[in-house]
Structure 1
Amino acid sequence: MKTSIVKIGGNLIEDENSLDTLLKNFSKIEGLKVLVHGGGKKATQMSAKLGIETHMVDGRRITDKDTLNVITMVYGGLVNKTIVAKLQALDCNAVGLSGADLNSIKSMKRPVKTYDFGFVGDVTEVNSKMFSLLLNNGISPVCCAITHDGNGQLFNTNADTIASEIAIALSNNFETELYYCFEKKGVLRSIDDKDSVITDINSKSYLELLEQNIIADGMLPKLHNCFNAVKNNVSKVFVGNIDMIANPDQLKTTITL
């Protein structure tokens, strides 16, 4: 059975109208579905209100103990439960999860190389049996970007990676499709031209785009996760805006081998 894994970006979470539209589209997806979200901007705003300084390196958050507490409150509480409540209002029966809930996603602390990112985890295991149990009973998991190590420690974890790893884990039992939804129509050839969508990217063209520096910065880890998914049995991977999950003909970027 087809299973759609949809990851939503932070800018969509910030824009209530866009979030509401996306959730309406998500609720109408035929087949089984999983939603994955972060909430970095809201976490940064909450940290500022609490007098906790935010430190970033190459666009990635350094997660000390205080920051982890804020992330847990914002991701696992405010953002996650707001999304679940909105989905229930749309007759989409959803359950909010961190990686610790139902032992759904385990991780290990990211090894220290150039920087120590603190309480940041890299995914080591997805509990596909648990996800399958929920999905087969008509429940849509809503996963926030928090995992655990099985020994009581929570970790901040990249939401794009979580979405990719869930799609890969479920591909053994379902036909999985992965959607990365953000505010743009897809991967852009020119950041200044919102309509310059690169409609298809494969392994060869990806290397060419890297050499031309067309793909850079925050798009690099996203596309790394895209290719990791298609290399590991995920049937389809798309990058685009909120309309692509409601309209198959919507302009978007399709990732293939």
Structure 2
Amino acid sequence: MSLQPLGMIAGTGFYDLEALDDARSETVETAYGPTPVTRGTWHGQPVAFVTRHGAGHKVPPHRVNYRAIIRALADLGVRDVIAVNVTGGIEPDLEAGEIVVLDDFLDFTRRRESTFHDGDGPEGVVHTDMTTAYDPALRRELLEAASSIEQPVLDGGVYVCFDGPRFESPAEIRLAALAGGTVAGMTGVPEVTLAVEAGLRYAALSLVVNPAAGVRPGEPITMDEISAVLTTGAPKVLAIIDELVHTRSVFASDEDDA
């Protein structure tokens, strides 16, 4: 049985996947530029993994080539993409270390190449529906995987994307809160919208690593704080994905035996 690879995209704190067997790195050439991809297997399932910021975290969020990443995964035969975002909590009740299974987004970016449809292709102007940009079926797989390993997650949340690389101001976070934002990050858009345009199913886990600016007055945002939360939180995120992949491998094995 030929299996479509599962796409994975991650950023800060997630620079490799130790779970991958037979991991090999390659560069995928696309019309939008080259993208380094690590390919291997996880519980026997093919996986294509991209780290947004590159080796050594050298690419800032506003300069990530999102179009090349999504195009590369699509060209490799990926249908489903699991993304991981490290975020600040906009909602006051969110604690560092909590995980959100996102279901909507707000785009507060200003200077990113955000579409495959520039109007100069044979398809002309295309307006893509984003009502369920985070695929409901793939989200359900993440929720079920988290439940299976008894890892608490928040079912649903709005990702608010800013350009970065600076952190947001308290006023910006207050504006995002008024608009219904749950978490703030710098990489989730246009990644999600490009995935939808490319016909991919996309879902994302958001690891909250700090209260966003001004949510708890007098508490500055520090990289030491973020790194400490990543140390304990990243394994929880990976455990959820591991369970999802394992469940898929069991299902695929049952299908082969049928």
Fold shared by both chains (TM-score > 0.5): no
- Larger helix proportion of the pair: 1
TM-score band, normalised by shorter chain: 0.3 to 0.5
Provide TM-score, normalisation by structure 2.
Answer: 0.37
